[in-house]
Structure 1
Amino acid sequence: MTTRRIDALDVLRGVAIMGTLGTNIWIFTSPAGPTGVLDALGQTGTVETFLRFLTNGKFLALLTLLFGVGLELQYRSAERRGTPWPGWYLWRAGLLFVEGLIHYVLIFEFDVLMGYAVTSIIVAYLIGRSDRVIRVWMITVGSVFTTLVALVTLGMMYDQASVDGQAVVPSTLFTEGGYLDQVAARIDMMGIYRLEAVFIVPLGIVLFLLGARLMRAGVFEGSDRGATLRRKLMIVGLGVGAPLNLLTSFAGETWSLVDRYLLPPLVALGLLALVTTIVHRMSGAPGLLRRGLTGIGRTALSCYVLQNLVASALCYGWGLGLAGRFDGLRPWWVVAAWAGICALLMTLSTLWLRRFERGPLELVWQWAYKAPQPRPVTGGVTDVSSRR
């Protein structure tokens, strides 16, 4: 692993974290909160629809790909050290699930960490298998997932007439309710809010494995092979996926699942390739933007939780209540809120890393995740490229 490749991963994680906020900020700034997400589908203006298109699903997919890269790195490290796999990694996945559960209950309805934890346990048993086995799993799970999205989309088209005639009762929980009221609502409605896991887990299996395969293929390398692969990904992702995704964004709520789960992963591949290429072409000392993105990338877990906490305090009734006060200024105040929170994350992460190697939550993880010391490997160096 070259230093430049690690730099690219840090920058990519920073971009992914800021991009997920770009999606979630529309939830926080809605006076109806998370309950207004489905109500707003197909009912926003042209400008807001385009702004939502820029982030919706794409950075979730990018973050998921990067989780797969991280899992591959964990596997390689275990192989190199001669430690059992998945072994102690399952404890890591358990910690992630607990972190996600706490984050869901106390802060945000659409937490993705719980889904990632379940996905990582499944993929941990696949990551060391042969390329043929991994390919079969990707094709099978991907086909089932695509079929599920297609069937639900057809069902939404069929029921569109009856849905259009229903009146929506606006919720005041997030403009007038207290913090504990929102916590109680998350607990009471866990079955509804956690339904997204039906889509996140199978999609995550495919993207985790794809991220691992991309790293094995050398997509992060500065070699000609890496550059060629990145060019192909940019053509497919940005040249084909992005235009199709733009069409589905304006196609109405019946296409919402295709718009969020099927096409964005293609765009995410193009973004991954584009950002990596830009990092490879940079020379000299990192600028302000790159330092900020790298800081967020190195403290990704802390920044993910903090951005949702800050957005809640700014927008909800128990905080400053800006969602209700500034609703008439949409969509521009939403963009300003996103930019302000991103600037705050860049600043805080950069200052924090001047004194610490890891973010606050990452330090807690370091304490909790006390992996056993590696056993010495006999009979030569472990071949990390071998597959069972």
Structure 2
Amino acid sequence: MLLDVLRGVAILGTLATNVWIFTHPSGEYGVLSDATAIATLSGNPVETAFRFLANGKFLALLTILFGVGLAIQYHSAQRRGERWPGRYRWRAGLLFVEGSLHFLLIFAFDVLMGYAVAALVVAWLLNRSGRVQKVVFWTTGSLHLALMLLGTVALLAGPDPAANPDPALTGLFTSGGYLDQVRFRLDNALALRSEPILTFSLLLFLFLFGVRLFRAGAFGADPTGRRIRRRLVWYGLGVGLPLNVATTLAGPDLFLVDRYVLPALVTVGYLGLVGMLLDRLRRPGPVVSGLTAVGRTALSCYVLQNLVCTVICYGWGLGLAATLAEARPWWVIGLWAAVCTGLTVGASLWLRRFQHGPLEALQRSLLTRRRTVAELG
């Protein structure tokens, strides 16, 4: 149950960051033209706290859990005596296709494409020795830290970049048509895909960290698991959280550290805290059951929450990003809460009738069909 709840928390938590992009006056273009579009400091303390608690943390949690899932599939294949990565390469390829469609048709800041590529690398690494995996783990972590620190030095030394928004694109997402937005993503694919490219070493590091946590027993209901989770809370919330508060208050010059370094440390505190809370529950209530349902249908909920927000916010839909621009941040937080509630209720009702989420079922069907064709061939 813990892993499902954590996945549910991670999925809904990523929306807590993305919802500010959907509701930005310039939408997805705003992230390219305005560096403050995903910054955590604002004039409203409630908005600042909300964005700080989500910024980069739940994306890191989702990445770690993807590594955990990869480790589980590897060990399952080992028990069945199957070759590895074997069929998993097709699963990763299908995930890349799904991510590409999600990027092009729904939301520019998709994570699935980067996960698919990182998964192929880590899947290959799982067949290597423990020493090789350890070397790659520390090398990728060190490389990412070095890149972020070098980037931070450049930000501190250089002048503040001047924002020169393109008037033709400023209103694209509040008043433009759907096909115009698709064309924008296609025309600016490299810039919009820069985050997973620049942080690819972080993806590998967090994937491998998830593998190491799983093998150490961090998700077990035994004393070992509880001890590890307590240590994660200490490191993440006792050490990482104060440091992350400091980098946030320091302003945009420390953006790279604030977004791509310290949130990964705070995330392990979130992971441990959720585990400690579940350890103290005698029976799951509606909140835990709802998060479990979202976790079991994570792919479907991830895509659906982004689709719902585009319909509500963008000009080709209800266009509320422009209509309610003066009601920020309260309507944005309300939108996040409403979508989260809808997903938890909807996922719970769906799983009463079906074993898997709709996209999970489609993925399984395609992979099964491919396997059948391969066996017949």
Superposition TM-score tier, normalisation by shorter sequence: over 0.9
Question: In structure 1, what is the equivalent of residue 364 of structure 2?
Answer: 366
What SS does the corresponding residue of 2:108 show, helix, strand or coil? coil
Report the Cα distance in structure 1 between the residues aligned to 2:85 and 2:337, rounded to whole angstroms.
39
Any conservation in 2 of the 1:42–1:250 contact (CA below 8 Å)? no
Q: How far apart are 1:189 and its partner, in Å? A: 0.4
Q: Distance in 2 between matches of 1:23 and 1:181?
A: 24
Residues 42 and 252 in structure 1, CA contact (< 8 A), matched pair in contact too: no
Kindly report which structure 2 residues correspond to 1:144-293, keeping only aligned pairs within 5 A, or say none: 144-161=143-160, 163=161, 166-169=163-166, 171-284=170-283, 286-293=284-291
Contact preservation (8 Å) 1:160, 1:254: no
The separation in 1 between residues aligned to 2:216 and 2:353, in whole angstroms, is: 36
SS of 1:221 mapped into structure 2: coil
After superposition, the Cα gap between the structure-2 partners of 1:302 and 1:265, relative to the gap in structure 1 and judged at 3 Å, is same
Q: Indicate the larger mover: 32-41 or 171-180.
A: 32-41
Tell me if the contact between 1:62 and 1:272 (Cα under 8 Å) persists in the aligned partners: yes
Structure 2 match to 1:378: none
Equivalent residue, structure 1, for 2:128: 129
Offset of 1:201 from its aligned partner? Answer: 2.0
Distance of aligned partners of 1:181 and 1:168 in 2 relative to their CA distance in 1, 3 Å threshold:
closer
Amino acid corresponding to residue 39 of structure 1 in structure 2: A
Q: Does 1:25 align with 2:19?
A: yes
- 2:314 is aligned with 1:316: yes
| Residue correspondences, number | 364
- Given that 1:29 and 1:334 are in contact with CA atoms closer than 8 Å, whether structure 2 keeps it comes out as yes
3-state SS of paired residue (1:160): coil
| Aligned equivalent of 1:297 | 295
> Which residue number corresponds to residue 39 of structure 1?
35
Q: Please give the alpha-carbon distance, in whole angstroms, between the structure 2 residues aligned to 1:267 and 1:160.
A: 30
Deviation per CA, 1:55-111: give whole Å up to 9, x if none.
010000000000000000010011000010011110000000000000000000100
Q: TM-score if structure 1 supplies the norm length?
A: 0.90
Aligned: 1:12 with 2:41: no
CA shift, 1:247, in A, is: 1.8
User: Do the aligned residues in 2 keep the contact of 1:127 with 1:209 (CA within 8 Å)?
Assistant: no
* Matches of 1:36 and 1:328, distance apart in 2: 17
Closer, same or farther: CA 129–281 of 1 in aligned 2, 3 Å: farther
- Output the aligned Cα RMSD: 1.6
After TM superposition, list the pairs within 5 Å mapping 1:96-107 onto structure 2: 96-107=95-106
Identity of aligned residues (%): 53
The whole-number CA distance in structure 2 between the counterparts of 1:293 and 1:264 is 22
Per-residue CA deviation, residues 194-238 of structure 1 (Å, 9 max, x unaligned), is: 111223421111011110110111111122222211111100001
Instruction: Give the AA of the match of 1:87.
Output: G
Quote the Cα distance in structure 1 between the aligned partners of 2:104 and 2:198: 20
Contact 2:68/2:207 (8 A) holds in 1: yes
The answer to whether the 8 Å contact 1:234/1:274 transfers is yes
Deviation at 1:160, TM superposition (A): 2.9
Give the structure-2-normalised TM-score: 0.93
**Whole-angstrom distance in 1 between the partners of 2:114 and 2:4:** 22
Q: Tell me, which stretches of 5 or more residues in structure 2 are unaligned?
A: 373-377
Counterpart of 1:385 in structure 2 is: none
Kindly indicate whether the alpha-carbon contact (under 8 Å) linking 2:5 and 2:291 is maintained by their aligned counterparts in 1: yes
Give the conservation status (yes or no) of the 8 Å contact 2:314–2:320.
yes
Matched, 1:355 2:353: yes
- Report the more deviating stretch, 20-29 or 129-138: 129-138
Q: Distance in 1 between matches of 2:214 and 2:198?
A: 24
Counterpart code for 1:14: G
Which amino acid in structure 1 is aligned with residue 313 of structure 2?
Answer: C
User: How far, CA to CA, are the matches of 1:58 and 1:199 in structure 2?
Assistant: 17
Check conservation: 2:144, 2:199, Cα contact below 8 A.
Answer: no
Higher helix share: 2
Q: Structure 1's 43 and 238: CA in aligned 2 closer, same or farther, altered over 3 A?
A: closer
1:348-383: CA deviations, max 9, x gaps?
A: 11111010000000000110112759xxxxxxxxxx
Question: d(CA) in 2 for partners of 1:244 and 1:29?
Answer: 29
Shift of 1:260: 1.2
Contact 2:40/2:51, CA 8 A, preserved across alignment: no
Query: Which deviations, in whole Å up to 9, do the C-alpha atoms of 1:260-291 show, x marking residues without a partner?
Result: 1100111111111111222222213x211111
C-alpha spacing 1:230/1:288, structure 2 compared with 1 (3 Å): same
Q: Which amino acid aligns with 1:152?
A: G
The answer as to whether partners of 2:40 and 2:52 remain within 8 angstroms in 1 is no
Question: Residue 33 of structure 1 aligns to a residue in which SS?
Answer: coil
Q: More displaced, 207-216 or 192-201?
A: 192-201
2:125 alignment partner, SS class = coil
Q: Distance in 2 between matches of 1:209 and 1:364?
A: 28
Partners of 1:200 and 1:342 lie apart in 2 by: 28
